[in-house]
A and B are shown apart, each in its own frame.
Chain A
Amino acid sequence: MAGNLSRRELLAAIGLAGTAVALNAGEAAADQLDPRPTTIDRSRLWWVKESDKPTTEIDWQQMKRFDETKTTRKGMPLYVGADKAKEIADLNTRTPLEAEQEQRPGYTTKDIALKEATNAGRVPMSFLGPNKATTPKDRGVPMYEGTPEENTQIVTAALRHMGAATVGVVELDSNTEKLIYSIDSDGKAIVFEDVEVGSEDEKKRVLPKKARWVIVYTIQMSTETMRRSPTMLGSQTTTLTYTRHTQIQAQLQEFLRALGYHGYGEASTNALGIAPAFGVLAGLGELSRLNRLVTPEYGPMVRVFKMVTDLPLAPTKPIDAGILEFCKNCKKCAEACPSKSLSFDREPTWETKGGWNSPGHKAWFEDSTSCRAYWAAVGTNCGICFASCPYAKSDLASVHTLVKATASATPIFDGMFRKLDDVFYDDFKDPEEWWRQNLPEMGIDTTQGHKK
C-alpha cells in the first residue's frame, strides 16, 4: 500500500493522522491550561439550564413550617395505630435475622457484617457543632471576609474536598424559612431569634436571624451497590453515606468556625429542614416521581443534607434539566415499587396523601405508610425505586450524556428513552456478584459529574 501512495496522498495521510493527534493532545492541553473558574462553577453539566423558578410549583402562601415528627420516621403510630406500628417495627427486626438464618442472597452473614460495619465510626451529630476548631480570634487574626460569591466558592471547594458531591446555597427569607422544621426529629422546636449566636436547650434550638444562608449538599451513594436492593447489601450504601455525612457535617461546622462563622447542622439524620426541598431550590436537582431529589449527575443516588450559616453566601439558582418532565412519562419507579406506594398520576398534584406530606407544592406524593411497611417486610430501607430510575447511571459512556441532554432539551423522546432503558439495563443484580466486582472506593466514582 505504501508503495502505491503518491506524495500528495502521503501528505494527506500524515495530515489526517496529525489532526487526530493534535485534537487529542489539544484537548489534554486545554484541560491543563484552562484555569479553574474563580466564580462559582455552576456549569458542571453543559446541558443543565439554570432557572429563576424551580420546576416544582410552589404555593408559598399555603406552605407552613412542618413538624418532622409527623413523618413516618417517628409518626407511624399516628397513621396506622400503635399496635400496627409495633407489629411493623417487630417485623423489621425479625426479617433480617430470619433471612440471615436462611443465608438468602444479600442477607448472608458477610452482607449483614458489612451493614454493621458501615454503621460504625459515626461522628456525633450536633446542631451547634463540635466547637473545637480554633477561631480567627484564637489565632489573633481577623475573621475571614470574602464576597458572597467567593464564600460560596470556598465552601463548595471545602465540601468537595471533604467528600460531598455537589453543593448549592439557598437564602432564607420569609418563604424559604418555611422549609426549616417547626419541630425537629427529637421533638425540639426550632425557632428564629434576634441573637448573635445560635443556642440549644432541652426544649428548643435557636437559629439567629442573621444566619440567612443554607448550605445544601449531596453525598453520592453507590449505584452499583443499590442495584442489590432491597437486600441488606443494597441498603448499606445508604448507611455508609449517612456515616460519611456525620464526619462531613462536623468538618463543615469546624471549617465555618475556623473562618470566624457558625454552622448550624442536623442534630440527627434528616433533621433541621426538608432536604429534597432545599436541594431543589439550591439547584442540585429536581423533585421527581419518587418524591425525592433526582440529580442530573447521579440521578437519585445521593443523600441530601443542609446546614444553616451566618457566612454570607451567594445563592445558587434552581435548575431545569428536564428531569421532572421525564418523570411524567417514565413511571418506572412506580411500576417497580412492590407496595405500589408511588403515584401513577401523569402530573404532580397539590393533594397530599397523608399527614406525613408537607403541603404547599405540587408533587407526586407517596403513600409513606405502605412504603415503610414494605421496608419492614424486607428488613431494610428498600431502595428499589432508586435503583430503577433511568437517571441512576454512570457517566463514562457518552450515550448517557446524549440521552440526558436530549431529555433536557425536549420531552418528545422520553418515552423511547424509558423503553430503551428497560431493554439495555438490568436494574437489579446478583448480590453475590458484588463481592467480586472490585468496585472503587465506597463504590462510587468521585469524578462523576465533574470535570475530568
Chain B
Amino acid sequence: MQFLLIGLALGLLITVLVQFLNKNSIQLRWYEWLLVGVGVFLIVFNIDTFVYSRAELEPKAANLSLLFLGLPGLIFVVLGLRLAYSRAKSRASKDTMAA
C-alpha cells in the first residue's frame, strides 16, 4: 500500500516539477536529468531500505541508510535542479542586459 502512495506522490511531484520548469522556461540538460533521476532513485530506494530494515528489526541499518542513500539522493536532486536553475537565471540576466 505504501508503495502505491509513494507512486502517487512521485507522480504528483514530477508533475509539479515539470510545471515549474515549463513556467520558468528552464530546460534541463541530459546530465541534470541524470543527476535528478539518480537522486530520485536513491531516495525511493532509501524509503524501501528504511521501512523494510525496520520491519526486519534492523534499526541500525535503517538509520544508516538515510546517510548512505537518502542524503546522497537528496544532494543529487538538489544539485541537478540547482545547476539548471543557475543556468536559466544566468541566461535571463544576459537577456535583460542585452535588452
For A20, A423, A425, which residue has the most chain B Cβ atoms within 10 angstroms? Answer: A20
Least CB separation from A27: chain B residue: B3
Please tell me which stretch of A11-19, A109-117, A173-181, A240-248 contacts chain B, meaning at least 4 of its Cβ atoms lie within 8 angstroms of it.
Answer: A11-19
By the criterion CB–CB under 8 Å, are A398 and B15 in contact?
no
Cβ contacts under 8 Å, B7 to chain A: 19-21, 23-24
In the complex, which residues 387-413 of chain A have their Cβ closer than 8 Å to any Cβ of chain B? Answer: 393-394, 396-399
Asked whether any CB of chain A lies closer than 8 Å to the CB of B31, the reply is no
Q: Is B16 an interface residue (CB 8 A)?
A: yes
CB distance from A366 to the nearest CB of B (A): 28
Contacts A4-B19, A5-B19, A425-B61 hold; do A17 and B12 have CB atoms under 8 A apart? yes
| Given A1-B16, A16-B11, A16-B15, CB of A24 within 8 Å of CB of B4 | yes
Interface: A224 (CB within 8 A): yes
B95 CB-CB contact with A under 8 Å: no
Most A-side CB within 10 Å, residue of B10, B11, B12, B60: B11
- Given the interface contacts A397-B49, A425-B58, does A21 sit within 8 Å of B12 by beta carbon? no
Residues of chain A within 8 A (CB-CB) of B19 are: 4-5, 9
Establish whether residues A423 and B11, one from each chain, have CB atoms under 8 Å apart when the complex forms: no
Residues of A within 8 A of B53 (CB): 396-397, 399
In the complex formed, the residue of B with least CB distance to A23 is B7
Give how many A-B residue pairs fall within 8 Å (CB-CB): 68
**B56 contacts across to A, CB distance below 8 A:** 393-394, 396-397
Q: Does A83 contact B (CB under 8 A)?
A: no
Q: For the complex, is B55 an interface residue (Cβ under 8 Å from A)? A: yes
Query: Given the complex of chains A and B, what is the CA–CA distance between A21 and B6 in angstroms?
Result: 10
Contact of A398 among B8, B14, B48, B57 (CB under 8 A): B48
Contact status of A398 and B45, CB under 8 A, knowing A12-B15, A17-B12, A20-B8:
yes
User: A28 — nearest CB in chain B belongs to which residue?
Assistant: B4
Given that A21-B8, A397-B53 are contacting pairs, would A16 and B60 also be in contact in the complex, using a CB cutoff of 8 Å?
Answer: no
Q: Is the interface of B mostly helix, strand, loop or mixed?
A: helix
Q: Are B60 and A426 in contact (CB under 8 A)?
A: yes
Q: Say whether, besides A24-B7, A426-B60, A397 and B48 are in contact (CB < 8 Å).
A: yes
Q: What is the distance, in angstroms, from A422's C-beta to the closest C-beta of chain B?
A: 11
Closest residue of chain B to A397 (Cβ to Cβ) is: B52
Nearest-Cβ distance from residue B2 to partner chain A, whole angstroms: 10
Give the residues in chain A near B58, CB-CB below 8 Å: 424-425
A9 vs B22: C-alpha distance in the bound complex, in angstroms? 10
Q: How far is the CA of A224 from the CA of B55 in the complex (A)?
A: 12
The distance in angstroms between the C-alpha atoms of A397 and B16, with both chains bound, is 29
| Bound Cα distance A424, B68 (Å) | 10
Asked if B18 is at the interface (CB within 8 A of a chain A CB), the reply is: yes
Cα distance, A23 to B8, chains bound together (Å) = 11
Q: Once the chains are docked, how many angstroms separate the CA of A63 from the CA of B4?
A: 55
Chain B residues within 8 Å of A, Cβ to Cβ? 3-4, 7-8, 10-12, 14-16, 18-19, 23, 45, 48-49, 52-53, 55-58, 60-61, 64-65
* Beyond A396-B53, A397-B48, A397-B61, 4 extra complex contacts between A and B, CB < 8 Å: A5-B19, A13-B12, A393-B56, A424-B65
Which residues of A pack against B, CB within 8 Å? 1, 4-5, 9, 12-13, 16-17, 19-21, 23-24, 224, 393-394, 396-399, 423-426, 437
- Please list 27 pairs of residues, one from A and one from B, whose beta carbons are closer than 8 Å in the complex, sorted by A's number: A1-B16, A9-B15, A13-B15, A16-B11, A16-B12, A16-B14, A16-B15, A17-B12, A19-B11, A20-B7, A20-B8, A23-B7, A24-B4, A224-B57, A393-B56, A394-B56, A396-B52, A396-B55, A397-B48, A397-B55, A398-B49, A399-B45, A423-B64, A424-B58, A424-B61, A424-B64, A425-B60
